[in-house]
Amino acid sequence: MHEFPDVPSFLAQVGTELGVSDWVDVVQERIDLFAEATGDHQWIHVDIARAAEGPFGGTIAHGYLTVSMVPVFLQQVYTIGQVASILNYGLDKVRFPHPVISGARVRGRIVLAAVEPASAGHKVTLSVTVEIEGVAKPACVAQVIHIVIAQEEHINVD
């Protein structure tokens, strides 16, 4: 865990790898719960018998399940002190190069890719690579964009 005492010390790390999260198990129960929460019950995700005969030899995690794990990875990699808020601004360039087979383990590799001023705080772009244990290709690569607002800054909603 990398602990930044304040926003300026975090922003100064632009261009560097902030760290790598712990491994997280992607078990069938997690996949099934995600399918239930989203209504996405495609057989490749939830029908174990049919998926065993399919192209991957078993069920796979939803791509959106994989990207939804990014906040877990970020929380494990760094914290920033003296922050009023960190807001999710969006995602860019999201790709899923390799499926996550049920039972696999994944982790997030985080790079602080870019920082620019925003109307409130700073717009921060994090390059996130979701790695699969024992697999060369990543499960997901994405640019995650946050607005980071220091305690002394205020949000202008006009």
Predicted local distance difference test score (pLDDT) of residue 158: 46
Which pLDDT belongs to residue 155?
58
Burial code (b: 16+ CB inside 10 Å, e: under 16) for 11-26 equals beeeeeebbebeebeb
The pLDDT of residue 116 is 93
Q: What is the pTM of this model?
A: 0.92
Mean pLDDT by 10 residues, the chain (158 residues): 90 96 98 98 97 97 97 95 92 97 98 92 96 98 95 61
Give the C-alpha distances (Å, rounded to integers) separating 101 from 63, 89, 105.
Answer: 11, 29, 9
**What pLDDT, on a 0 to 100 scale, did the predictor assign at position 151?**
81
What secondary structure letter does DSSP report for 134? T
Residue with token string 């499926």: 99
CA of residue 120 relative to chain centroid, distance: 23
